[in-house]
Amino acid sequence: KQVPIIGLVMNDRGFISRVLCPKFGGYLTFGSLEKGKESAPSQPTAADLINVYNIRQIGPDTKVFGIIGNPVGHSKSPILHNEAFRSVGLNAVYVPFLVDDLAKFLSTYSSPDFAGFSCTIPHKEAAVRCCDEVDPIARDIGAVNTIIRKPDGKLVGYNTDYVGAISAIEDGIRATQQTHSTVSPLAGRLFVVIGAGGAGKALAYGAKEKGARVVIANRTFARAQELGNLIGGPALTLTELENYHPEEGMILANTTAIGMHPNVNETPLSKQALKSYAVVFDAVYTPKETRLLREAAECGATVVSGLEMFIRQAMGQFEHFTGMPAAPDSLMRDIVLRKT
C-alpha cells in the first residue's frame, strides 16, 4: 500500500479482518458503540475490540490463535483465551475462524504467525487427516481438538476433550457420593454416549479407559455402529435409545449440538427416558442449563454441565499453545463463570 488503508471484510467470515488489521498494517478499525447498534454485519463492539481482543496491543509480532468451527459465533473461547494470554503477558490474540473446509483453511493460513487452533464441530475428525503428526491418544480416539503449528511449519494434533469431559463427570459423581476413592466412579457402569462425532469418540474412549461399559447412540445408525465396533460396545439409533433401559443407574453423555442456542427447546432424549439415568452430562454449554440437564435434574439425576468440560479442555489447550506447564486454573474458571 502507498497510502494508509482501512481494509475490512464483511459478514461472519470477515470478522477476523476487523481484529487482525493492526497486525497487517491496517490504518484503523472500528466497532459499534453497543451491541445491536452495528452499522455493518458482524461488526464487533468497540468495547469487545479493546477488552476482549486487546486490540491496542496487537502488532506485527503478535501470534494468532483461534477456534475453527461452523458454527463458531457462540463460542466463549475468545473471551477465555484472550484474558488468559493477557494474564501471563503473552503477545497473542485468539479469534473465531468460521471455516467450511479445514484442509483449505490450514493451507491458506499457513504462516508461522498462525500458531495454533482449537478445533470444534464439525472439523475434529478431519483434523486428524490434516495434521502432519497426531498425538497417539488423539489418533486412537480419531479426533483432534487442538492443533499446534511448530516452527518448521508442521501441524501437530492433540485431544484435550476426553480428559476434560471424563474428569468433569467423575468429579460430579464424587461430589454427590462424597468419596475420594482412587478407583474411577465410572468403572463397571453402563455409559451411554449420544453422538458419534469427534466429541462422541473422545467420551467413548475416555469412558472405556476408565472401565465403563460403553453404548453408542446416534441419529445415523451406521455411524453409531462404526464407533461401537471401535470401542467394543453396542450401537443404537436415537429412536431405540428412547426404550433402552436394561438397568438402573446408567450414565448418559450427550456430545451432539442438540439443544444448543438458539435451538434451546430441543433435547436428544425424552424426560420419560431420562428416568433410568443416575448421571447426565451435556457437552452443550450455551445455554449453561440445557433442556436435557433441566429435565434430568427434575428426574433426580446428578447433572454435569458442559461448562466443566469446556473449562478443563481449554486449560489443556492453553498449555499446548503456550508451552507452560500449568494453565491459570482459578482465573480461567472465573472468566467462564463470569461470562456465562
pLDDT tens-place string over residues 134-153: 999 999 999 999 999 999 99
Strands 190-194 and 235-237, sheet pairing: unpaired
Virtual torsion, Cα 75, 30, 51, 86, nearest 10 deg: 90
| CATH, range 162-304 | 3.40.50.720
Average pLDDT over residues 62-73: 95
Catalytic residue among 124, 201, 208, 210: 124
pLDDT tens-place string over residues 184-202: 999 999 999 999 999 999 9
The reply to whether domains 12-158+310-339 and 162-304 share a CATH topology is yes
Residue 93 near residue 113, CB atoms below 8 Å:
no
Cell 465396533, residue? 229
pLDDT exceeds 80 at position 180: no
The per-residue pLDDT of the chain, averaged, comes to 94
Bridge partners, 237 (sequence order): 218
pLDDT tens-place string over residues 77-118: 999 999 999 999 999 999 999 999 999 999 999 999 999 999
Annotated active-site residue 124? The verdict is yes
Best CA proximity match to 312, nearest among 294, 288, 296, 332? 332
Homologous superfamily of 12-158+310-339: Leucine Dehydrogenase, chain A, domain 1 (3.40.50.10860)
Domain segments of the chain as ranges: 12-158+310-339, 162-304
